[in-house]
Amino acid sequence: MPWDINDYPSSLKNLETPVRKKAIDIVNAMIDEGYKEGQAIPIATEQAKEWYKNASDNEIQQVNQMSDEDLRSRDEDAQSSRPELLEKGEHVIPHENGWAVKVQDAKQASYIFDNKQEAIDRAKEIAANKGTSTIIHKKDGSIQEKSNV
């Protein structure tokens, strides 16, 4: 049974409403794709918090207006959460605005940092949560270091 605003994991109870709704939406999509709740909930929570930091007021308002029915039903045309990337390693790569954290085979970077160490720290944190590897690249794109959790 999909989660909604009246029935959701207790770990989401202290989140602000738009973050909680976004987390519910993400976790429902991940469960639809076959992921277990125990794996999907912490990932969805982290993604929802990050979304909130970068969301526009309009995006937050749209999520705030989501009904229980919106949360329970999935739009087939909605952008995929790409759960297949959950098993891929995290790369720290040079970026025009500093350093990026990008999942292997992802279309775009998940995070961009001014400084390389911040990107490395975030990549290692994500990889530890997912149980995957971290691949750190040099400025020229070559691999500097690989680490497995």
In three-state secondary structure terms, 110 is coil
How many other C-beta atoms lie within 10 A of the C-beta of residue 15? Answer: 18
In three-state secondary structure terms, 104 is coil
Q: What is the CA radius of gyration of the chain?
A: 16
Dump the DSSP string for 29-51: HHHHTT--HHHHHHHHHHHHHHH
pLDDT of residue 149: 63
pLDDT of residue 48: 92
Domain definitions of the chain by residue range: 11-72, 85-148
Per-residue pLDDT reduced to its tens digit, 114-144 = 999 999 998 998 888 778 899 999 999 999 9
Mean pLDDT by runs of 10 across the 149 residues of the chain is 82 92 87 77 92 88 83 50 67 93 82 92 86 93 88
What is this structure's pTM?
0.50
For residue 83, the 8-state DSSP code is: G
Alpha helices by DSSP H, listed for 2-36, are 17-32
